[in-house]
């Protein structure tokens, strides 16, 4: 459902993402993790047609996002980290606009159901510009979910949500994947990723440090650094970063020795 092959993005001389490959199947919830500046949003922006790859290909539902943008865009819902919503529209107007674009059947009843789910019913006829940050985030989530897309792409979904809404959203994404859809999300919340993701990629400065199920990552880090089965994703994550640092120091030291010899 999502295919990223050899995706590289350079901004001038800076390589933000370097030869990234992964795929997400229907029924899977996939996590893209990494520190600040790792390249998560840059990858998501390529997948949703906002930042053109320098090289490599990104495909959604079998369509190349950059060669067949209309087909690809019809197949995914996108929840950006900072959603832009038309502030002068009410939530109902905005959601009806989205629903009509995607030809959602029985859209009025669906919007009512979604507003109720997120406790927004009494605000549904107020302009979105009067909403709190979390309320806007909920509207952006509804807008992406309303067409029931085969692929859902989500950048940092929990920022600004209260604990109740965060749990609802977690269940929503898991349920979406369990109904055969593909869900790709980036998050800094390792407990969230541990609770819901089937598979993960950990990025650092544009390169993959580890990829696979949590158990596979445990094995990967355990073999190299003496970890034990059952380690939390947080421990695994920090081990991957520590190993990367150790490798870099070793490489620098070796280069220093070579320089000295040369
Ligand atoms: N438009 C741009 N122009 C130049 N550099 C950019 C641009 N967008 C991103 N970058 C650089 O690409 C790298 C990856 O940024 P990106 O936003 O993808 O990171 P991220 O993993 O989403 O980080 P965060 O967790 O902080 O949101 C960073 O070094 C960033 O400075």
Give the pLDDT confidence of 104-130 residue by residue, as tens digits: 999 999 999 999 999 999 999 999 999
φ/ψ of residue 215, rounded to 5: -65, -40
Nearest CA residue ID for atom 10, ligand 1: 16
ipTM confidence: 0.97
Q: Which residues pair with 4 in a beta bridge?
A: 22, 58
Mean pLDDT of 213-223: 82
Nearest CA residue ID for atom 31, ligand 1: 37
CB of residue 34 inside a 6 A radius of ligand 1: yes
Q: Angle between the 214-225 and 233-261 helix axes, to the nearest 10 degrees?
A: 40
259 confidence band (pLDDT: 50, 70, 90) = low
CB of residue 40 inside a 6 A radius of ligand 1: yes
231-250 pLDDT tens trace: 788 888 888 888 888 888 88
Lowest mean pLDDT among 40-44, 76-80, 217-221: 217-221
pLDDT over 70 percentage in the chain: 95
Is pLDDT above 90 for 159? Answer: no
pTM of the model: 0.90
Q: Which residues pair with 77 in a beta bridge?
A: 152
CB of residue 220 inside a 6 A radius of ligand 1: no
Protein fold of 2-85+150-212: Rossmann fold (3.40.50)
Is pLDDT above 80 for 261? Answer: no
Residues listed for the chain? 262
Task: Specify the pLDDT at position 226.
Answer: 52
CB of residue 99 inside a 6 A radius of ligand 1: no
Mean pLDDT of 19-27: 96
21 confidence band (pLDDT: 50, 70, 90) = very high
Can you spell out the DSSP letters for 29-95? Answer: EEEEEESTTSSHHHHHHHHTTSS--SEEEEEETTEETTTSHHHHHHHEEEE-SS----TTSBHHHHH
Buried b (16+ CB within 10 A) or exposed e, 199-223: bbbbbbbbbbbbbeebeebbebbbe
Query: Domain coordinates of the chain in residue numbers?
Result: 2-85+150-212
Is 165 in contact with 134 (CB distance < 8 Å)?
A: yes
Nearest CA residue ID for atom 18, ligand 1: 39
CB of residue 153 inside a 6 A radius of ligand 1: no
Distance CA 153, CA 142 (A): 13
Average pLDDT of the chain, as a whole number: 91
Mean pLDDT of 189-213: 92
CB of residue 202 inside a 6 A radius of ligand 1: no
Select the more confidently predicted residue: 197 or 222. Answer: 197
Is pLDDT above 80 for 99? Answer: yes
Task: Specify the pLDDT at position 108.
Answer: 94
CB of residue 80 inside a 6 A radius of ligand 1: no
pLDDT over 90 percentage in the chain: 73
Lowest mean pLDDT among 48-57, 81-90, 203-212, 252-261: 252-261
Nearest CA residue ID for atom 27, ligand 1: 36
CA of 16 from ligand 1 middle (Å) equals 7
* Residue where the block lists tokens 């495909």: 59
CA of 129 from ligand 1 middle (Å) equals 28
Q: Which of 4, 37, 159, when mutated, tests ligand 1's pocket best, judged by the most ligand atoms within 8 Å of its CB?
A: 37
229 confidence band (pLDDT: 50, 70, 90) = low
Mean pLDDT of 188-206: 92
Is pLDDT above 60 for 45? Answer: yes
Is pLDDT above 80 for 140? Answer: yes
Is pLDDT above 70 for 76? Answer: yes
CB of residue 223 inside a 6 A radius of ligand 1: no
Mean pLDDT of 16-28: 96
Task: Specify the pLDDT at position 103.
Answer: 92
């Amino acid at each position: 459902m999502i295919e990223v092959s050899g995706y590289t993005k350079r901004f001038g001389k800076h390589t933000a993402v370097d030869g990234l490959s992964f795929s997400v199947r229907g029924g899977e919830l996939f996590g893209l993790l990494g520190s600040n500046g790792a390249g998560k949003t840059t990858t998501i922006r390529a997948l949703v047609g906002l930042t053109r790859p320098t090289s490599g290909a990104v495909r959604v539902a079998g369509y190349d996002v950059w060669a067949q943008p209309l087909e690809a865009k019809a197949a995914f819902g996108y929840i950006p980290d900072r959603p832009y919503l038309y502030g002068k529209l009410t939530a109902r107007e905005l959601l009806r606009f989205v629903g009509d674009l995607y030809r959602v059947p029985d859209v009025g009843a669906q919007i009512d159901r979604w507003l109720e789910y997120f406790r927004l019913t009494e605000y549904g006829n107020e302009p979105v510009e009067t909403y709190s940050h979390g309320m806007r985030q909920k509207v952006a989530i509804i807008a992406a979910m309303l067409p029931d897309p085969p692929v859902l792409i989500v950048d940092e979904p929990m920022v600004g949500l209260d604990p109740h809404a965060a749990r609802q959203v977690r269940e929503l994404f898991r349920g979406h994947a369990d109904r055969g859809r593909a869900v790709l999300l980036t998050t800094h919340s390792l407990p969230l990723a541990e609770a819901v993701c089937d598979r993960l990629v950990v990025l650092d400065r544009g390169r993959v440090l580890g990829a696979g199920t949590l158990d596979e990552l445990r094995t990967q880090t355990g073999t190299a650094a003496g970890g034990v089965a059952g380690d939390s994703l947080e421990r695994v994550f920090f081990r991957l970063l520590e190993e990367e640092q150790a490798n870099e120091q070793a490489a620098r030291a070796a280069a220093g020795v070579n320089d000295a010899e040369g």
